[in-house]
Every structure is written in structure tokens, then in C-alpha cells.
Amino acid sequence: MDIIHKTAICLASVLCIIGAEAGYAQSGGGRGMMERFQMIDADTDGQVSASEAAEWHETVFAAMDADGDEKLDRKEFMAVQFGRGADPAKRGPRYAERQARKDARFTEMDADGDGYVTHKQFLAYGQRRFAAADVDKSGSMSMAEFRAAH
């Protein structure tokens, strides 16, 4: 097979992948996933690095910590809604399920069971989730890894 045919096959494969990811992001099961990934991918290189993920977690913590005391109670944690969850008219039928998972994450992060998630606990949890999502251990997360983790 000559270089022109190889290039054409490679280009067709890339276009199929892009089309599949765009379709997934717009479908009911993945709507909003691409937008969230792009918000975290600050340098727009198509990968979320550990530092980009850490920055995102810092931003999220700051948004949730309403009283600025460097710890979150369950009410603060549950009150902040991102994406479609922020608009009650756009929450959809799985909103209650997502809130239940969010509530379970709070319990998981509150390792000492004191009813608060400290800044340190929140960031450590984010690091663990990033490490688990980075299945190829490349130090960055692809859209496919991000999608699988969420």
C-alpha cells in the first residue's frame, strides 16, 4: 500500500473518531461531556493534564466554599450546580440520580466522617479520580478516558 492510500485511510479513521465523539457528545447519554472536557482542557490540546485537572478542582472548590472557611459542609457541596444542573428547566430526568451520586461522593471525600470536606481532602480526591481515569498512565486524560471515568 502506498503512502497516499495509507494517508487516506488514516484521515478517514480520524474523521470517523471525530464524528463519533461529536455524536456522543450531542446524544442523550453524553450531552455536555465534550463541553465539560473542553472547559478543563485549558490549553486546548485535546488532553487534560494533571495540572489542568488540579486547577479545575481548585476552581470548583472555591465556587462551593460559600463561607470561605476552606472546608465544605454537605449543604455547600450539594448547593452548587454546574452545566445543565444549574438551570432547573434543563436538569432532565436523571438529575435526582446524579444528585445521589454527588451526595455519595461527599461521604467518600469526608474520610474522617466529621461532616466536612477540607480543601486538602477535596484536592486529594480529585487527584485519586484523575489517576484512576488516566488508565494508560500517560499523565494526561484523553476524551475517551474522561468519558469512561464519567
Percent of the chain with pLDDT over 70: 77
pLDDT at residue number 118: 97
Buried b (16+ CB within 10 A) or exposed e, 17-26: eeeebeebbe
pLDDT at 95: 85
Per DSSP, 41 falls in state: -
Q: Which of 50-64, 66-80, 86-100 has the least mean pLDDT?
A: 86-100
Q: What is the pLDDT of residue 9?
A: 36
Name 44's Cβ contacts closer than 8 Å, sequence gap at least 6.
38
Query: For the segment 76-88, what is each residue's pLDDT rounded down to a tens digit?
Result: 999 988 766 677 7
Q: Which of 20-29, 88-97, 141-150 has the lowest mean pLDDT?
A: 20-29
Which class is domain 32-149? mainly alpha
Contact 1, 10 (CB under 8 A): no
Three cell numbers, residue 60 = 470548583
> Between β-strands 48-49 and 140-141, what pairing exists: parallel, antiparallel or unpaired?
antiparallel
Q: Residue 84: what pLDDT?
A: 67
Q: Quick check: 7 pLDDT over 50?
A: no
Instruction: Quickly list H helices, 81-140.
Output: 95-109, 119-133
pLDDT tens digits along 10-58: 333 333 333 333 333 333 445 578 888 999 999 999 999 999 999 999 9
Query: All 3 cell numbers of residue 58?
Result: 481548585
Measured distance CA(30)–CA(86) in Å, rounded? 17
